[in-house]
């Protein structure tokens, strides 16, 4: 069974949430996440689970590293 789709606008909202987390702006991060539709949420959760993580860990890591990647 294929993973649920992530709509393009949901991907934009997720990116906005991660940017806000990197900027240590939890209110903006939460607002961006609340705009994500249910199907896209399922797709995001599915893909993160495949990577062995979840959204809370990704947000925490993004905030801890100010969005820097290794």
pTM summary value: 0.88
pLDDT at 54: 95
Mean pLDDT, residues 29-33: 97
What value does the CA radius of gyration of the chain take, rounded to a whole number of Å?
12
Per-residue pLDDT tens over the stretch 51-66: 999 999 999 999 999 8
Q: What share of the chain is helix, strand, coil (3-state, %, to 5)?
A: 65, 0, 35
Whether the Cβ atoms of residue 45 and residue 38 lie closer than 8 Å to each other: no
Which of 65, 62, 54 lies closest to 19 in space, CA to CA?
A: 62
Whether the Cβ atoms of residue 51 and residue 7 lie closer than 8 Å to each other: no
């Amino acid at each position: 069974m294929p993973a649920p789709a992530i709509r393009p606008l949901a991907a934009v909202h997720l990116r906005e949430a991660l940017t806000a987390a990197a900027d240590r702006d939890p209110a903006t991060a939460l607002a961006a996440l609340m705009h994500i539709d249910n199907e896209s949420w399922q797709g995001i959760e599915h893909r993160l689970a495949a990577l062995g993580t979840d959204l809370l860990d990704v947000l925490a890591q993004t905030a801890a590293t100010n969005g820097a990647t290794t």
